[in-house]
Structure 1
Amino acid sequence: MRKKENQRIALTKRLLKESLLQLMPDKSIQNITVSELCQAAQINRSTFYNHYGCPADVLAEIENGVIDDLNEIWKEEGSRKNWTLDKRVEALCTYLQENRSLSKLLLRDSDTNSGFATLLLHAAHVQATYEQTLSYIKDQDNKRLMITFLINGAYHMIRQWLLEDIPKTPKEMGQLIYLAATQGWEKTY
């Protein structure tokens, strides 16, 4: 009985996530009501409230799922030695490109304080990658400032690449961001 119940919950959540993603191209998350989400998913409101408080909670679960996927990729690939910034960015861009429609929805907000951007930019593997890339910088304040600059810049480069369908491969994006992160900094600091 328990397994059937878990399958029912999983199906309900999947229907809600799919329905939310269908509504999001036309409306911001703040303008999607519980009623219209439930209508699109063909479930009743009480079922919705058994699992979520508002449509933003459904979106947060989707975003966390993407971050979990990316963490798995970085965990697998990160065990290899010499996994440089360009390879890490390439892996990120490959994932985002393979999940293009979802990625475009999650990255459409240019505010780096938005939910998904915050999750992505503050992920431990992102910080560690830039920490490793800029390891030659001894002044910790300078390093922190540069990491902030590079992470936000990389986010906006990737966002623009996806949203504007710029014809670059994930490998080219990795190389471009690596170049931006390393070109000239060594001589300055």
Structure 2
Amino acid sequence: MLSTRLGLGLLKPSNKFLTLKSQQIISKRFINQVTTTHEREQEILTQQRKNRPSSPHLTIYQPQLTWYVSSLHRVTGVLLAGAFYGVTVAYAAGDLFNLGIDSNSIASYFQSLSTPTQYAIKATAAFPFFLHAANGVRHLIWDAGKELTMKGVYRTGYSVLAFTAVIGTFYTFF
């Protein structure tokens, strides 16, 4: 305990001369003060930013399956959420304002569309849904500590794409 107090006492100089001397040394060696205006500071900062190299970003990297599947997972999540909220609001507004938006009217409208348009709508809904669902299962597998090697990551990525292609096609045409 005595050694601790002595050690701490060495770190805090009690002599005013020592404190003043150490501050002068710090100010002479490390602090370089320049008086300028705010406009001049902004001008200097702009000049410094012009001299910075621009980052090559994604152009220098080889595209990988992991990028594409991750990007598609995010995009499909946003699109599915937006579609879900849109349909929910349409149902609520239809019921609230008697607009005639209900399951029967939507089904009859869908049946009145041409067959290629029906398939396009079904594909637009099926493929993003199954890609997002399958990739969610992939992430649950990773959360369990499985398939975390590069080989496993690519294996699960190709599995997600294959599952999406097969099941999405099935739900589109049948």
- Asked if TM exceeds 0.5, the reply is no
Which TM-score applies when normalising by structure 2? 0.31
